[in-house]
Each structure stands twice: as C-alpha cells, then as structure tokens.
Amino acid sequence: KVLILDFGSQYTQLIARRVRELNIYSEIHPFNKIPTNIDAYKAVILSGSPNSVRGEDALHPDLSEIRGKKPMLAVCYGAQYLAHFSGGEVAPSNTREYGRANLSFIKNDEPFFATLSEGSQVWMSHSDTIKSLPTNGVLLASTNDVKNAAYKIEGESTYAIQFHPEVYHSTDGKQLLENFLVKIADLKQDWTPDSFVEETVAAIKEKVGNDKVVLGLSGGVDSTVAAVLLNKAIGENLYCIFVNNGLLRKDEFSSVLKQYEGMGLNVKGVDASERFLEALKGLEDPELKRKAIGNSFIEVFDDEAHKLTDVKWLAQGTIYPDVIESVSATGGPSATIKSHHNVGGLPDFMKLKIVEPLRAIFKDEVRRVGATLGIDPELLGRHPFPGPGLGIRILGDITAEKVQMLQEVDAIFINGLKEWGLYDKVWQAGAMLLPVNSVGVMGDERTYEKCVALRAVESTDGMTADWVNLPYEFLQKTSNDIINKVKGVNRVVYDISSKPPATIEWE
Ligand code: XMP
C-alpha cells in the first residue's frame, strides 16, 4: 500500500483517489503522525500545502524512516520542502504560477516520464518557486515559466514535482503516478472492488466470529452496502433496523423495506413516525429540530436493539472521508454551521463494539463495491438525503399535514427529474416548504397558500455546490404539476444560490 502524508492541501484526497483508481490501495495520514508500521507501506507521497517552506509555519515531517529507504514522490510543497532543506533554494516567484502550463522539456529516458511527451499539460498552484535543486538533484522537466518543474535525487528513489498530478487538468497526471508507483515502486495493481469484498468479508468473519451484530439502515448507499457486506460475512447474525421517522420521501419506507427484504437482509421495519412528530411539536429552530430527531432516533433504535438478545456489535456505514484526520494550517476549530450527521450519535450505555466495513473507502468506491455485490444500480445512484429528512426541508414547525404536502411536491419534482433523464446529472435535489403564504388566483378565486422552493445542485462532496441549470421547459412543467396537483401550494420558485455563500439545505 501507499502512504500519503498530508500537509493540508485541498487536493490530498484527490491523490488518494487517483492512486486507488490505479487499483493500488492508499492511505492518508497527517505529516506529523507517520504510522509506526512504516514497513507496511511500499511507497510514500508528500502532498501539497497552503503553507510556505520559507515561513515560520513551515511544516516539518520526520522523513528519517522514509527518505532514501523507500520510493518517495514529493508534490508541490513536498518538492519545495526537499529543495529548501536539503541544499537547494526556494523563493517567492515573480511570474504567475497558477493554472495551466505545458511541459517544455522532459528528460524522457526516465521511467518516471515514460510515455509522456513534451507539451503535456500540467496544473500549477503555487506562489513559491524552486530556484535551485537540492544536493544531488537532477532536473527532469521544465515549463516555460518554471524551470525546476520536476527533479529526482541521484542515488535515491526520490522524485519531486512542482505541479499537481492528481488534478484532472494535469492531462498525464495519472500516468505519472502510475509510472512512479508501478515502474519505480514496483507496486501491484490488484486492489479492486472484488478483492476489497473478499478481504473485507474475511476480516469481518475474523473480527466478529459468531457474535450478533445490529445495524441501522437508512435507505442510503453507505448503510446498504455495509449491510450487504456484513450479510455476506455473517448472514443471519446480522440484525438490521430500518426506522421510519415520518420524514422520509413519499412511500419510501415501504418500498425500501421491500427492497431490503428482497436482498435477503434480516431487516425489521419500525414505523416511529408518531414518536418523531410528537418530539418535534412546536419546534422551529433548525438545530433544536435536528436534536429532537437525533434523540428520537437513538431512543427508537435503542428500544429495538434491546429487544434483541446477546448483540455484541454495532455496525456503521462510516466512510473514509469521515475518518481522515485533517491537518489544519491555522490550528483553531472551525465554526459549526450545522450540526450534521449526528456524529457519535449512540448512547454509550449500549456498550457495543463497533464494526465499520467501509471505513477505508471513498463514496465512489462504495458505489463500485455495491455494484460488485449486485445491489440495484438505482439504489446505488440515489441522491444523498439528510438524516433529519424532510424535517429540515420544512422551514419552521413541522406538522403531519406539512410533511404530506412536501412529500407530494418532492415526488413530482424527483419523478420529473427521472422522467426527463436529468436525475443522474444532478448531485442532490429536493423541495423546501417555506413558511410563507402568498396570494394567488385559481378559477377566479383568491388563494392564500404556501410557497415551495425547488433546489438541484451539482457537487462532488457537498462541501461546495452550484445550482443546476435545469431546462426552462422542465421547470415550467414541474411548477404546473405541483400547483395543480398539490393542495395548499400556489407558488413555486427555483433556488439559484451557490454554496458558499448559501448552503444546500435551507436549514
Ligand atoms: P448543507 O445544507 O450543509 O448540506 O450545504 C451539505 C450536505 O449535508 C446534508 N445535510 C445533512 N445530513 N444530517 C445529515 O445526515 C444533517 O443534519 C444534515 N444537514 C445537511 C445535505 O443534505 C447535503 O447533502
């Protein structure tokens, strides 16, 4: 496997994903927490960083067990770090070194540059530049503006590049990573969804043995794939609980439950709608609503889990981005915008051991593993849906009547996206019921009814997002359908805000 040392670059996760796309397993660790079992890693990649090697906040990794001992690729900050502290020179750059550039010189008898040719486009993003190479440095590539764009250290398997091979705009970036990992570090490309399933099933069997495991299904991709993996490993000893919080999409509880049963999962559907509605009564503040929903879920889940005897483990669908320890250049904690994801959500009196079969993989990998496991592609391609569900899409207080109204609106919107072939072009979509009444006119009568906002965004991880340019004809038809079919709604608007400064959900 490959060790990626993170210096806080926004692209670190991309490096890991590119490496994995080459069917080689990689892990990200903070630059100052190098794993003690370093022998387990056959190659090391140093990431970029927002910091400067010349500043007081330069980040210093301890490379004593790595440099010269195993193949190492230093990207951007990494390349500058090696230069600056090993006999070279790094200085602020005079020319603009952001964005597109082309390699004007390549030392192409190097295996590192095999199959690349001059002119290859690379992506730069740095404000310091390497003025002179470190001791024993050999120049490997240049662009017109950046002479020292790539170098190696004579006598070591150490390579350094100023540009970012992990980003899509570096056209041959993936080839370069492959050259380094396969030709230089001699890694095998055998990490595939199939091998992941095989290894994970064996690991679960080993870890859990004949114990019973309980898992909460949400209808989403992660918990479903986790359940199918566990089911493959331990069969009937896996007990799944699927809670209806009354805030799911229209007919979702019954249809997803059926689907789960069809997949051979040992699942119990628990309709707790009333209990959630009761807990939400009169609450208007988004964070209080989230808390009420989170707490009710814990109570319901706990009640159900206690009905099972001898359960030793709790399985969760945690995925790799939730696990990676982040490197913060500024140090301080970031402000809580929303208390997402109900992290750490279970009461410790349950005292269950945790099993998380997806903790090593990214979302797109979860989908590929799901496909290998034969899970319905429609389920795997589902848009993300927040845990508190429609509870945070009904602005202000929640009533059964509002839930039903929004379920109808949402169903028209989502089914329309599917019918028009737009669903898969959108990362997430939904409707918000606004706490606003406005005047309308229907059949010569005055109406004074609710307004709904439709939202459809493109994104890769939900951290940033932009609204989708849906065809006017689609919006026109959808708006018409909603106003004609859903009683109580007389106005539809489309949300054209990006994140930031807005967020995806309205609450
Ligand atoms: P925002 O609204 O913060 O949403 O831009 C980003 C992503 O997170 C989802 N989201 C939540 N998911 N519990 C969840 O499990 C929550 O409380 C929650 N709030 C937002 C949102 O749907 C989007 O995908």
Concatenating the DSSP letter of every residue in 354-398 gives EE-TTTT--HHHHHHHHHHTT--HHHHTPPP--TTGGGGTB-S--
Q: Mention every residue, 6+ apart, whose C-beta is less than 8 A from residue 495.
A: 432, 453, 454, 455, 467, 502
SS3 469: coil
CA angle 373, 381, 498 (to 5 degrees): 145
**Residue with CA nearest ligand 1 atom 4:** 504
Query: What is the secondary structure of 284-325 as a DSSP string?
Result: --HHHHHHHHHHHHHHHHHHHHHHSSSEEEEE----HHHHSP
Residue with tokens 């329309």, as numbered in its chain: 416
What does pLDDT average to over the chain?
Answer: 94
Of the candidates 172, 125, 143, the residue with the CA atom closest to the CA atom of residue 11: 125
Report the pLDDT value the prediction gives residue 93, as an integer from 0 to 100. 86
- For ligand 1, the distance from its centroid to the CA atom of residue 386, given in whole angstroms, is 5
User: Which among 410, 504, 506, 507 is the best mutation to test ligand 1's pocket, defined by most ligand atoms within 8 Å of the CB?
Assistant: 504
- Is the CB of 382 within 6 Å of ligand 1? no
Give all domains of the chain, ordered by start, each with its CATH number: 2-184 (3.40.50.880), 193-380 (3.40.50.620), 398-494 (3.30.300.10)
Round to whole Å and give the CA distance between 313 and 205.
13
- CB of 33 closer than 6 A to ligand 1? no
pLDDT score, position 342: 46
CA–CA distance from 222 to each of 84, 225, 229, 365 (Å)?
43, 5, 11, 10
Mind listing the pLDDT tens digit for each residue in 334-350? 566 776 654 445 555 46
For 392, list phi and psi in degrees, rounded to 5.
-105, 10
**Residue whose CB lies within 8 A of the most ligand 1 atoms, among 221, 338, 466, for a mutation test:** 338
Residue 5 is inside which H or E element, if any?
strand 2-6
End-to-end CA distance of the chain: 41
Cross-strand partners of 440: 447
Annotated catalytic, 118?
no
Taking 70 as the pLDDT cut, the residues of the chain under it are: 96, 328-336, 339-350
Tokens of residue 295, six digits = 């707490």
Q: Cα of 300 to ligand 1 centre, how many Å?
A: 22
Structure-block tokens of residue 288: 């209080």
- If we measure between CA atoms, which residue out of 385, 460, 397, 469 comes closest to residue 429? 385
- Kindly report, residue by residue over 347-365, the tens digit of the pLDDT: 554 678 999 999 999 999 9
Does residue 147 line the site of ligand 1, with CB under 6 A? no
Rg of the chain over CA atoms, in angstroms? 26
Known catalytic residue at 76: yes
CB-based burial, 240-254: b 16+ in 10 Å, e otherwise: bbbbbbbbbbbebbe
Looking only at the bridges linking them, the beta strands covering 150-153 and 137-143 are antiparallel
Strands 89-92 and 128-132, by their bridges, are: antiparallel
The alpha carbon of 503 and the centre of ligand 1 are apart by a number of angstroms equal to 9
Would you list the DSSP string of 155-199? TTTEEEESS-TTSTTSTTHHHHHHIIIIIIS-------HHHHHHH
The set of residues, in sequence order, having a beta carbon less than 8 Å from that of 170 and lying 6+ positions away, is: 121, 122, 123, 163, 164, 176
Q: Omega of the bond prior to 92 within 30 degrees of 0, cis? A: no
Q: Distance from the CA of 344 to the center of ligand 1, in angstroms?
A: 16
Catalytic annotation on 365? no
pLDDT number for residue 349:
46
ipTM of the complex: 0.99
Q: How many residues does the chain have?
A: 507
| Per-residue exposure over 283-305, b if at least 16 CB sit within 10 Å of its own CB, e if not | beebeebbbbbbebbeebbeebb
pLDDT of residue 108: 82
Contact 222, 319 (CB under 8 A): yes
Q: Which amino acid is at 135?
A: T
Among 340, 395, 427, which is best to mutate for testing ligand 1, by the most ligand atoms less than 8 A from CB? 340
With a CB cutoff of 8 Å and minimum separation 6, the contacts of 26 are 1, 2, 3, 4, 15, 16, 19, 20, 45
For ligand 1, say whether the CB of 290 is within 6 Å of any of its atoms.
Answer: yes
Q: Check residue 334 and give its pLDDT.
A: 59
Sign of the torsion angle spanned by Cα atoms 490, 496, 501, 503: positive
Known binding-site positions: 218-224
- Rounded CA-CA distance 320/385 in Å is 19
Q: Where are the alpha helices (DSSP H) in 186-251?
A: 193-208, 221-234
Our answer on whether the CB atom of 461 is closer than 6 Å to any ligand 1 atom is no
